[in-house]
Amino acid sequence: MTTTEQIRKALTEALKRRPSLTQAELAEKVGVTQSMISHYASGRKMPALDTLSRLCTVLDLDANEILCVEKPKEY
C-alpha cells in the first residue's frame, strides 16, 4: 500500500534531481500553488490523481516509481 511518506520521499528525490526547478516553478507547471507543493513534499497532503499525473509528467517520473509500485515479475 502506498503511503503519504512514500510519495513524499519520491517527490523529494525527484526535486533533488532537478535542482534548477524551484517549488514555485513546479507549482506553476503543475497548476497548483507553491504551498501545495510544499505540503506534498512535507507529507502533510497527498496530491489528487490528476495532480499526481502532472507531477509525474513534469518531473519525468514513472507513476509506478512515485507510487512505489513494484512491477510484477514476468513468468
Kindly report whether the global pTM for this prediction surpasses the value 0.85: no
List the grid coordinates of 53.
499525473
Find, among 60, 17, 14, 20, the residue nearest to 37 by Cα. Answer: 14
Residue 70 has pLDDT above 80, yes or no: no
One-letter amino acid of 54: R
pLDDT for position 75: 60
Mean pLDDT calculated for residue range 11-28: 92
Residue 20 has pLDDT above 90, yes or no: yes
List the grid coordinates of 13.
528525490
